[in-house]
Amino acid sequence: MSSDGENQTMEFDQTALAIIAKPLAPSKLHRRLLKLVRKAGKDKSLKRGVPGDVSPIDVLTHIPVLCEEANIPYAYLPSKVELGAAGSTRRPTCCVMIPEPKSGTFSVGVILMSDNIELSEEQKLLIQTNMERARRLISSKRPLEDTVQQAAVNETITTSRRGGFLHPSQPDSTLKDTREARRLNDDIIVTYPLEGNATCRHCTSIELDAVLKTHFSINVCHNCREIHSNNYRLLTKTTVKDEYLLTDEELADTSVLPFMTKPNPYKSTWSDMQLYLSMHVEKFAVKKWGSLEALQQEITRRESTKEARKEKKFKEKLKELRLKTRSKSSSALSSRASRRHVHCFEIVAAGLKRCTECQLEVEEEDI
């Protein structure tokens, strides 16, 4: 099953790129890259190069080459995905390099592209190859990723009885599945004599889903649960807060919104997951927000304010950097930079690199 999910991410033609760009359906590899970037950012180990007055593409075109030479796997990501999920920048094109925890050498490069950059067939192929290499590296190197990987395996084990239920027409079933968490426990409750069993609320089956019956006192069979999967999904507390805009306070009233717990898949010693039933949550959210449309409107509103905040913050930072950098790079030097070449940087000060050929100065900032 897990191999299913990963195979899908390898197709990376223009069509797939458009699909992957949807914020709500990032592929597994994308999500891993984002997590990786985010984690590296937290560790203050992520380096982000911000060029001064030259067009960003001028600086970036050589990165793939450098990566190739240094045998560093890299990958292109549509920028939209990054913006939403990893909370990165609004720059149309930029590059992040993720160093090894110990040695400081770079292990993975990620190039964030604007959506409207045209790719040649050759580039596409290169991308595909490197995506694969990056994927392999990621799944084998990073402790965080290892944990998640491990968790996925554990889930698969506990759900062995339904391991093969994934439908081929669901390209992002991996993601969906994790969020639904229906595979966590699929035991069936049947007692003897059979006549004493309650029947499914939708049909006459007595093979009731154990999770729903035990934790939510809902009698529903596996079949009907899947038929009405929108009602019987399990949602984590975080998801509910993010996608239904409920508050901690509201989620604390178990008489209105009961929940079950499961060990935290990231690390079992961390706080348990709190899983709410989608039908409860949705009903509550409709009561709170008026309608699902109104809810969606509020979500959009908050997202746009978030975007605005980010943009403002970034502009401030950029202006600062520009002020710091502009004085150092004279116009005479930058005109020389127009000649096409691969920048070769030397470090001239803490966080400041200069190309030995064109004197382009690039400031590194920790993010």
The tokens for 19 are 């699909």
Segment interacting with a second copy, rule: CB under 8 A, options 99-107, 223-231, 298-306, 345-353 = 298-306
3-state secondary structure the chain: CHHHHHHHCCCCCHHHHHHHCCCCCCCHHHHHHHHHHHHHHHCCCCEEEEECCCCHHHHHCCHHHHHHHCCCCEEEEEHHHHHHHHCCCCCCCEEEEEECCCCCCEEEEEEEECCCCCCCHHHHHHHHHHHHHHHHHHHHHCHHHHHHHHHHHHHHHHCHHHCCCCCCCCCCHHHHHHHHCCCCCCCEECCCCHHHCCCCCCCCCCCEEHHHHHHHCCCCEHHHHHHCHHHHCEEEHHHHHHHHCCCHHHHHCCCCCCEEEECCCCCCCCCCEEEEEHHHHHHHHHHHHCCHHHHHHHHHHHHHHHHHHHHHHHHHHHHHHHHHHHCCCCHHHHHHCCCCCCCCEEEEECCEEEECCCCCEEEEEEC
Count of chain residues binding a second copy (CB under 8 A)? 9
The item of a second copy, Zn ion, DNA, none sharing an interface with residue 87, based on CB under 5 to 8 Å by kind, is DNA
46 Cβ neighbours under 8 A, 6+ residues apart: 37, 40, 96, 97, 98, 366, 367
Q: Which of 42, 301, 326, 336 forms a contact with a second copy (CB under 8 A)?
A: 301
The item of a second copy, DNA, Zn ion, none sharing an interface with residue 215, based on CB under 5 to 8 Å by kind, is none
The residues of the shown chain that bind DNA, judged by CB under 7 A, are 42, 87, 178-179, 236-239, 247-248, 264-266, 269-275, 302, 305-306, 309-310
Nearest distance in Å: CB 110, a second copy: 29
Using CA atoms, how far residue 357 sits from 35, 49, 354, in Å, is 36, 18, 9
The item of Zn ion, a second copy, DNA, none sharing an interface with residue 239, based on CB under 5 to 8 Å by kind, is DNA
The item of a second copy, DNA, Zn ion, none sharing an interface with residue 290, based on CB under 5 to 8 Å by kind, is a second copy
Nearest distance in Å: CB 339, Zn ion: 54
The item of a second copy, Zn ion, DNA, none sharing an interface with residue 308, based on CB under 5 to 8 Å by kind, is a second copy
- Nearer to Zn ion among residue 65 and residue 198 (C-beta): 198
In angstroms, the CA 188 to CA 209 distance is 5
Segment interacting with Zn ion, rule: CB under 5 A, options 92-100, 196-204, 246-254, 317-325 = 196-204
- Nearer to a second copy among residue 14 and residue 304 (C-beta): 304
Residue 235, phi then psi, degrees to nearest 5: -120, 135
Nearest distance in Å: CB 200, Zn ion: 3
Segment interacting with a second copy, rule: CB under 8 A, options 47-55, 74-82, 158-166, 299-307 = 299-307
The item of DNA, a second copy, Zn ion, none sharing an interface with residue 202, based on CB under 5 to 8 Å by kind, is Zn ion
Segment interacting with a second copy, rule: CB under 8 A, options 97-105, 163-171, 201-209, 296-304 = 296-304
Q: Which of 22, 162, 313, 315 forms a contact with a second copy (CB under 8 A)?
A: 315
Q: Is residue 246 within 8 Å of residue 165, measured between CB atoms?
A: no
- Nearer to DNA among residue 135 and residue 237 (C-beta): 237
Task: Kindly state whether residue 290 participates in binding a second copy, applying the rule CB under 8 A.
Answer: yes
Packing angle, helices 173-180 and 28-42, rounded to 10: 70
Segment interacting with a second copy, rule: CB under 8 A, options 38-46, 86-94, 261-269, 302-310 = 302-310
- Nearer to DNA among residue 141 and residue 176 (C-beta): 176
Q: Which of 117, 198, 203, 294 forms a contact with Zn ion (CB under 5 A)?
A: 203
Nearest distance in Å: CB 81, DNA: 16
Task: Kindly state whether residue 326 participates in binding a second copy, applying the rule CB under 8 A.
Answer: no
- The contact set with Zn ion (CB under 5 A) reads 200, 202-203, 205, 221, 224
- The contact set with a second copy (CB under 8 A) reads 289-290, 298, 301, 304-305, 308, 312, 315
